[in-house]
Each structure stands twice: as structure tokens, then as C-alpha cells.
């Protein structure tokens, strides 16, 4: 792995730097299955639904896409909807409340291989950013002890404020590269979600690394990953 060919590295957060993807999966499962339990004839929500419709997307897009897969149409609602409301935004907010509770209760331990790579890249002078659809990215980075390595964080909050399209559109990655002053061709995207890998490929980035945390190496390659690893220790900077 020739890291010297690149000036910037753009990391997804959940599932790449921290195992919070597992917390997200649990929160989505609890929320959707609680909702579906009140609807006759609906099969339970499972991991396959997460990877197909939710993984890597902005929260409300994930709600909308999963419901569409089941033929369920709900009012859109508004971002300040109460989590008890049966709207797209209400269900998304219900999931977020569950996630926040789990993080506060259990904390966040980052992947050791990811921490080692981040520390090595930072020491070598690479410019680093986190690009996440989550609105909780900054609190999670703080909880994991990684915030100091990332001067740029393009998260769900910034994306909404600037009107940036979420993954699989490349907009958030392109914005992070711009904020770091790095041309896309000189930047690396590191992602574990199909939608995130597709975003990196669509943005014309110099290298897209897929981290297989369960979605499958072949699916990541089809989405556009140039390289697939199971742990970032495999592409250590030294």
C-alpha cells in the first residue's frame, strides 16, 4: 500500500473507525420491529434489510427506503417530530433516541487496526477527515478518543446545513476533500457500506478501500471498491 501517493484520507465512521455500526443495527432493529409488530402480515426486520436499505444512508432516507420495500407509505413529517409519531421523521427520530441511549450507556471502543492506521497517517502528515451521514458523528468521535485526529468532519448536521446530497451521491466526500484542500484524485475513501463505496467511486477518488464488516467483499467490489480488506491493519501505513 503506497500511502505516499495520496495527500488526504477520508474515513467513514460507523463500521470503519468504530463498531458503532453494530449499535446502529441494534437501534434500527429495535425501532423497526417495534413498529412492524403493530402491522398485520409484515415479516420481521432483519440484517439483510439493514444492508439493503439502510446502511450508510442518511437516517430519514433509510426509513423511507425500508418502508418502501415493504409497500408502506407514511407521511414525511418534519425533523422535529416526536419519536412517538408514525411519520418518516418520527421513526427516524425514534431510532436516533435509541442509538444515543446505547452510546451513552456503553461508550465506544474504536477498532484497534483503524486507530493504528489513523495514528500512522497523521504522523506522516496526511490530511484526515471523517465523512458520515450520522448526526452523532462528533459525539461518537469524542467518546472514542479520536476527535483530535480529524480537523474536518462532514456529518449529517453539516450536510443538512449545506444542502449536500447523502451517500451514494459523492457530495459529502467531495466537500470533505475540498475542506482539506485535496483534489479527489489525490484522496482515499475508506468505507464499509455499499452506498459509501458507490459514493467514493462516483466522486472520482484516487483510491476507494472497502472494509468488509459483513456486507461481503464481492458486493463492495461491485459497488466500486478498488481494494477490500477485513481490517485496516492490513493496509498499515508502515
Active site residue 61: no
* 131 within 8 A of 172, measured Cβ to Cβ: yes
**Secondary structure in 3-state letters for 32-87:** HHHHHCCCCCCCCCCHHHHHHHHCCCCHHHHHHHHHHHCCCCCCCCCCCCCCCCCC
- Active site annotation includes 12: yes
Q: Which of 14, 61, 81, 192 is catalytic?
A: 14
**DSSP states of 120-174 as a string?**
HHHHTT-EEEEE-S-TTHHHHHHHHT-GGG-SEEE-HHHHHHHTPPPTTSSHHHH
Residue indicated by cell numbers 420481521: 44
SS3 11: strand
Residues involved in catalysis = 12, 14
Amino acid at each position: 500500500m503506497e500511502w505516499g501517493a495520496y495527500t488526504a484520507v477520508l474515513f467513514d465512521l460507523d463500521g470503519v473507525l468504530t463498531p458503532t455500526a453494530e449499535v446502529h443495527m441494534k437501534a434500527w432493529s429495535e425501532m423497526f420491529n417495534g413498529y412492524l409488530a403493530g402491522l398485520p402480515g409484515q415479516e420481521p426486520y432483519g440484517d439483510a434489510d439493514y444492508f439493503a436499505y439502510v446502511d450508510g444512508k442518511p437516517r430519514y432516507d433509510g426509513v423511507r427506503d425500508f418502508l418502501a420495500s415493504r409497500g408502506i407509505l407514511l407521511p414525511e413529517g418534519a425533523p422535529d417530530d416526536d419519536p412517538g409519531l408514525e411519520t418518516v421523521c418520527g421513526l427516524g427520530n425514534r431510532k436516533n433516541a435509541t442509538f444515543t441511549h446505547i452510546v451513552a450507556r456503553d461508550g465506544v471502543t474504536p477498532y484497534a487496526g483503524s486507530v493504528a492506521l489513523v495514528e500512522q497517517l497523521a504522523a506522516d502528515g496526511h490530511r484526515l477527515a471523517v465523512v458520515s451521514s450520522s448526526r452523532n458523528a462528533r459525539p461518537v468521535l469524542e467518546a472514542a478518543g479520536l476527535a483530535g485526529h480529524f480537523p474536518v468532519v462532514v456529518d449529517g448536521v453539516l450536510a443538512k446545513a449545506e444542502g449536500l446530497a447523502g451517500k451514494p451521491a459523492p457530495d459529502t466526500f467531495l466537500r470533505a476533500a475540498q475542506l482539506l484542500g485535496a483534489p479527489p484524485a489525490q484522496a482515499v475513501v475508506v468505507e464499509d457500506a455499499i452506498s459509501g463505496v458507490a459514493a467514493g467511486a462516483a466522486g472520482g477518488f484516487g483510491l476507494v478501500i472497502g472494509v468488509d464488516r459483513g456486507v461481503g467483499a464481492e458486493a463492495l467490489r461491485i459497488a466500486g471498491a478498488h481494494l477490500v480488506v477485513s481490517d485496516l491493519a492490513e493496509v498499515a501505513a508502515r
